């Protein structure tokens, strides 16, 4: 089953705390997961200030700078993984380096009905 592990962290803390992960550590973890056949995709995201939000209401698109909502933690990146079950996905998420300074939301992927 596919799971999306969303990495949330306060952007100011993500790389400034003593326990903050370095990019090389995140890359090494992703590389190991890819070698094991678990990692489908993963990326770090640019700062939330670079976000653009698009809304469509009554057929009209509105584009605004910035994220959808103000929050204490921002979406910093993601790992799309293949796991046997939720327990294996959680075990994977526990070892994602930014979990030390933020949080990891684990969500099953829903296949679209076609």
Determine the Cα angle at 100 with ends 91 and 29, to 5°. 55
Structure confidence at residue 68 (pLDDT): 65
φ/ψ of residue 76, rounded to 5: -105, -20
The residue ranges of every structural domain in the chain are 2-44+73-108
Query: Which residues, in sequence order, are bridge partners of residue 62?
Result: 55
pTM: 0.88
In this predicted model, what pLDDT tens digit does every residue of 17-33 receive, in sequence order?
999 999 999 999 999 99
Assign 103 a pLDDT band (cuts: 50, 70, 90): very high
CA distance 44 to 23: 9
- Say if residues 35 and 107 touch (Cβ distance below 8 Å): no
Half-sphere exposure for 19 (CA within 13 Å, toward CB): 8
In this predicted model, what pLDDT tens digit does every residue of 52-95 receive, in sequence order?
888 899 999 999 887 666 677 889 999 999 999 999 999 999 99
Structure confidence at residue 69 (pLDDT): 64
CATH number of 2-44+73-108: 3.30.70.1060
């Amino acid at each position: 089953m596919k799971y999306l592990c969303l990495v949330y962290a306060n952007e100011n803390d993500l790389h400034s705390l003593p326990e903050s992960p370095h990019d090389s550590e995140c890359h090494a973890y992703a590389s190991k997961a890819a070698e094991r056949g678990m990692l489908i995709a993963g990326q770090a995201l640019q700062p939330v200030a670079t976000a653009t939000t698009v809304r469509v209401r009554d057929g009209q698109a509105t584009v605004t700078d910035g994220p959808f909502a103000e929050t204490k933690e921002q979406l910093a990146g993601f790992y799309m993984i293949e796991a046997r079950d939720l327990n294996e996905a959680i075990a994977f998420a526990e070892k994602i380096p930014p979990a030390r300074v933020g949080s990891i939301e684990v969500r099953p992927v829903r296949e679209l009905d076609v």
